[in-house]
Amino acid sequence: MNLQNFRIEPNAAPPGDWYIFGDITDDDGNLLGTFGPDGTSVFAWWVQQPSDWQLNYVMQFSSIMAQQIAAQDGG
Amino acid sequence: MATYYVRTDGSDSNTGTGPGTGQAWLTVGKAVSATGMSSGDTVYVAPGVYSALINVLMTSATVNTYIIGDPKALQFPGVTPGQVICTNYNTALNAAGFSNHVITGTSKNFMYWSNINFKFNPPYGINVATVRNWTFEKCTFSNRNTSGSLIVMTSPASTAMSLTINQCIFHGGNVGLQLTGGGVPDTTSIQNSVFRHCAQAIVQVSCQTAVFNCLFFVSLFAINQSSQSLVFPATITNCLTANCSNDLIGGVTGTLIETYNRLLGASARSNVAQGTGSVTVGDIGVDIGESLLQGLPTIAQLTSFLSSPNANFGTLTGAPVTDLYGNAWTGPNPDAGAGTYKTIGGGLLTHPGMTGGIRG
């Protein structure tokens, strides 16, 4: 799988959201799908995923968040 | 060109001109200080753990200036062979040492490091700015988590970085190799190296790199690139990537040219055109411990196993003639990845590339 014309843009409202644009192709260049002409909102897509799938990624976020919190608290 | 020596029981008050305890320096930092080496000199570093900042303060070199780890203690009679470790942990490597990068420097060129293992207490690493013509050969860089980058390097404005990475192993960290070039044609070469467990292996901005025969076992991106030129694109050839969310990310299609790679991550290419001879499906093809586990002729982990799909996969054009360990490729063409099939005699620590001399 490949991504062509790929780019990510911030969404001003709500802040913190991102829009992903691009074409999804196979190795022969055949178009498998796209993120849509207006892109796909990370926030909108995220809430559509199963909770157990979300939990897997939140677990990964937790250690990253902890590192950031500790770094800020530790100066 | 003078030769100097560093050993763990030396003294920075010594002259540094002999290998004995009464002659050798104590720290690598002394060797690269304003009162240490000059351009073109060589310093040999004895086995041991060196827990002190290496701040490059010498007058910038104009030819290669060598900092050579001597793990076999060939230059140090009576010293027991062992790793040469530079770290910001303590000397026991079981607690924090000092809170800084292990190597720092600004506008210091032609520094050539070899046979040194850099062990970083995160978020620190090697952090040098506006430098060019550095070389790391047969070095390892490790970080126990994903905080901080292993090597961060910027080149002088509008100047080629001309960095050489050869036969090195990068382990852990947020970014393995973070390069910001001068936005000009560049001879930076990264070859015969392994990047594993880095969140991102190589992040390159405005830096033309030629990557050959590297193995990428990373979690997010093997190469993440931006601000590269269509006129002098970066290249990646004969490499193996796996366990990545995205293997190759180009800023714009045409700025990263890939050929003869085995790109096995979830998304092989983003803004990168499919290159000649590349595939995106198949087994990783490298030993993950099975040869030793099951009593087969032992090979180094992460090198191609017998009849691997990596064997003879690459192109000869521009490729290194030997692999990470200095072994000739088993087939007429190079393997994909950094290590070819080669059984190990006498134990896992055999390092064929070391037999020809310290500089290999």
* Closest chain B residue to the Cα of A2, Cα to Cα: B269
Identify whether the C-beta of residue B180 lies closer than 8 Å to the C-beta of residue B224.
no
Chain B positions touching A29 (Cβ under 8 A) are 274
Q: How high is the pLDDT of residue A14? A: 87
- The alpha carbon of residue B244 is apart from the nearest alpha carbon of chain A, in Å, by 12
Both tokens of B263, joined, read 């790109």
What are the tens digits of pLDDT across the range B41-52? 999 999 999 999
Are B280 and A1 within 8 A, CB to CB? yes
| Amino acid at residue number B112 | Y
Tell me the torsion sign for CA atoms B254, B188, B183, B269: positive
Neighbours of B210 (CB within 10 A): 16
ipTM of the complex in this document: 0.84
User: What's the confidence (pLDDT) of residue B359?
Assistant: 41
**Residue that wins the pLDDT comparison between B41 and A67:** B41
Query: What would the mean pLDDT of A49-71 be, rounded to a whole number?
Result: 91
**pLDDT score, position A64:** 85
Residue A63's pLDDT band, with cuts at 50, 70 and 90, is confident
Q: What is the pLDDT of residue A73?
A: 64
Report whether pLDDT(A65) > 60.
yes
Q: How far is B267 from chain A (nearest CA, A)?
A: 5
CA distance A68 to chain B (A): 9
Q: Which chain A residue has the Cα nearest residue B199?
A: A64
> Are B274 and A1 inside 8 Å of each other by CB?
no
For chain A, the structural domain boundaries read: 2-73
Task: State the pLDDT at residue B157.
Answer: 96
d(Cα A9, Cα B284) in Å, to the nearest integer? 34
Residues lower than pLDDT 50 in chain B: 346-360
Nearest CA in chain A to B148: A67
In chain A, residues 41-70 whose CB comes closer than 8 Å to chain B: 64, 67
- Report the alpha-carbon distance of residue B86 to residue B105 in Å, rounded: 16
